[in-house]
Amino acid sequence: MLSKKLEEALNEQIKNENYSAYMYLAMAAQCEAANMKGFAHWLKAQAQEEFSHAMRIYDYVNERGGRVRLLAIDEPPFEYGTPLQMFEMVYEHEQKVTGLINALCDLARSENDYPTQTHLNWFVDEQVEEEASASEIVETLKMIGDKGHALVMLDRELGKRGQ
């Protein structure tokens, strides 16, 4: 059984994962409006992944006899600037999520909740992948800039995510 403190923290993380998905959908909407379909596709896929992370925690809380409480999700920003600025925000956001996951790990450790520690290890590994993916796109955008043929090629490449 989960401690009340850990249950509350996991419910907060469900909210955080859902906010991430919501933010990525907002970014995708901006890309769709700018006819950057590949960027939009990548961001929508990322949103789906974040929703799946929330559900993974949701299911875990239920498995451990806790009670899921769905907390209000803040409205994400409407504008994200250039593709580089947008993906710098993605990278910063993923770093923030890594910090949140690390704090959950610390809490689980302090509560001597070994099952939750084990469960959270998957998220620790996932965040390494998330940060690396966002960082790679940021570095590519820094090399190619925000306009021109290279941006179109990157848009096409990002549109292949999941294929």
Task: Determine the angle formed by the axes of helices 83-110 and 37-63, rounding to 10 degrees.
Answer: 10
The pLDDT tens digits for 80-133 are: 999 999 999 999 999 999 999 999 999 999 999 999 999 999 999 999 999 999
Tokens of 28: 């995708």
Give the right CATH number for 4-158 from 3.40.50.300, 1.20.1260.10, 1.20.120.1200, 3.40.190.10: 1.20.1260.10
Residue 147's pLDDT band, with cuts at 50, 70 and 90, is: confident
pLDDT score for 148: 85
Rounded Cα–Cα distance for residues 108 and 95 (Å): 20
Q: Would you kindly state where each structural domain of the chain is located, as residue ranges?
A: 4-158
State the pTM of this model.
Answer: 0.96
Among 14, 17, 8, which Cα is nearest to 94's?
Answer: 17
